[in-house]
Structure formats: C-alpha cells, structure tokens
C-alpha cells in the first residue's frame, strides 16, 4: 500500500496539482506554504537587457504592465 504524498506549491496551482494526483490514484495532501503576490518594481531600459531569465510562470502572471516592455526579448525558463 502506498503512503500519501504532500504537495508543496502555492495557490494558484496547488488545488490543480492535488486534483491531478488524486485522478492518478495518488493520495495527496497539501497546503500552500507561501504566497505569490506582485511587488512594485522599476523595469530597466529594455535596450540594456538581452533576455529574461524566468523561474516561474508567476513572473508573467504578476509582473505587471512594465513586463510587457520586454515582449520582444528571448525568455530562458528554469
């Protein structure tokens, strides 16, 4: 018998991960341990930037209008 797993992921996203795990027959529990929220930032001049290095899709969800200034730049996702 398998033991349950714990999903460590913030919302939005945790509920979807838990639902998918359960659909796969995995007993999964989870609670968001941290919160994703936008922060104020001052975007640099796009002419001084070669590319974006992004660690999460949340960067695009919460980057704000200033992020649109970099739409023509390559994105490196990690």
pLDDT of residue 60: 93
**Entry field: residues in the chain:** 78
Residue ranges of domains in the chain: 1-35, 38-78
pLDDT at 65: 92
76 neighbors 53 (Cβ within 8 angstroms)? yes
What is d(CA 7, CA 31) in angstroms, rounded to the nearest whole number?
A: 7
Tens-level pLDDT at each residue, the chain (78 residues): 789 999 999 988 899 999 999 999 999 999 998 888 899 999 999 999 999 999 988 999 999 999 999 999 999 998
How many CA atoms lie less than 13 Å away from 33 in the CB half-sphere?
Answer: 6
Q: What is the pLDDT at residue 66?
A: 93
């Amino acid at each position: 018998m398998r033991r349950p797993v714990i999903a460590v992921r913030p919302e939005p996203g945790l509920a979807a991960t838990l639902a998918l795990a359960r659909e796969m027959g995995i007993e999964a529990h989870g609670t968001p341990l941290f919160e994703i929220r936008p922060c104020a930032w001052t975007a640099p001049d796009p002419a001084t930037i070669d590319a974006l290095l992004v660690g999460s899709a949340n960067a695009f969800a919460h980057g704000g209008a200033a992020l649109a200034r970099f739409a023509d730049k390559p994105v490196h996702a990690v």
